[in-house]
Chain A
Amino acid sequence: DAKTTQPPSMDCAEGRAANLPCNHSTISGNEYVYWYRQIHSQGPQYIIHGLKNNETNEMASLIITEDRKSSTLILPHATLRDTAVYYCIVRVATWAGGTSYGKLTFGQGTILTVHP
């Protein structure tokens, strides 16, 4: 699995866009970029994923560079409830067998603090 690198923490003012970067320079051609977040004392929440095109859903946008070595998760209008740890994961989307099935491995992630 490709390794990801994220900044340990970021701050954002409420109402402004939060841009969370992720480096994944060893990503292979069939690996997707996934983003999850975990609010304190809650289960992780899936946000968005993409392969090479930019993606947008009701929660966020995902911008993937043309060489796919990095990506940015954008929360367009951050609120206090977006304060959480954000995780970037790079994995093959469908199970190809082997012992890695099912195991979501979160790194340290980025602690995003949204302040008033």
Chain B
Amino acid sequence: DGGITQSPKYLFRKEGQNVTLSCEQNLNHDAMYWYRQDPGQGLRLIYYSQIVNDFQKGDIAEGYSVSREKKESFPLTVTSAQKNPTAFYLCASSASRGWVTQYFGPGTRLLVL
């Protein structure tokens, strides 16, 4: 089955620690995205990548980093510089030209200890 997988489902971060959220897709999509969702709020774009080895900052990139070494993978690192990381993180992908049709993963909920 084609789709997007995210792991882990829940992640706990200690103060000052970097954590990496995994996102893998087997849809052969060129474009991938990371969003953050806070309780009762909409999605906010963190980073996006239109093609391998290229990525762009979204609206709230500070305190986050990404890499895109393979077409199917787009991991997100939440660094210690992100002072309020507790949120629901969503990864999505799309065919580049049809970018509004985005397919989302199940999400990772990050909690700070």
Contact = CB atoms under 8 A, between A and B. Distances in A.
B90 A44 contact: yes
By DSSP majority rule, is chain A's interface helix, strand, loop, or mixed? loop
Given A104-B43, A106-B43, A46 B103 contact: yes
B31 A102 contact: yes
Between B59, B92, B101, the greatest number of chain A beta carbons within 10 A of the residue's beta carbon is seen for B101
Between A91, A95, A105, A106, the greatest number of chain B beta carbons within 10 A of the residue's beta carbon is seen for A95
Contacts of B31: 102
Interface residues of B, number: 26
A104 to B, nearest CB: 6
Interface in A20-66: 32, 34, 41-46, 49
A102 B99 contact: yes
Interface stretch (B13-21, B61-69, B71-79, B104-112): B104-112
B58 to A, nearest CB: 7
Contacts of B97: 94-95
A65 to B, nearest CB: 20
B100 interface: yes
Given A42-B106, A44-B43, A46-B103, A103 B58 contact: yes
Interface residues of A, number: 22
B87 to A, nearest CB: 13
Given A42-B106, A44-B104, A103-B45, A94 B33 contact: no
Nearest to B44: A103
Nearest to B96: A95
A95 B51 CA distance: 14
A107 interface: yes
A12 interface: no
B2 interface: no
A101 B100 CA distance: 9
Interface of B: 31, 33, 35, 42-43, 45, 48, 50, 56, 58-59, 88, 90, 92, 96-107
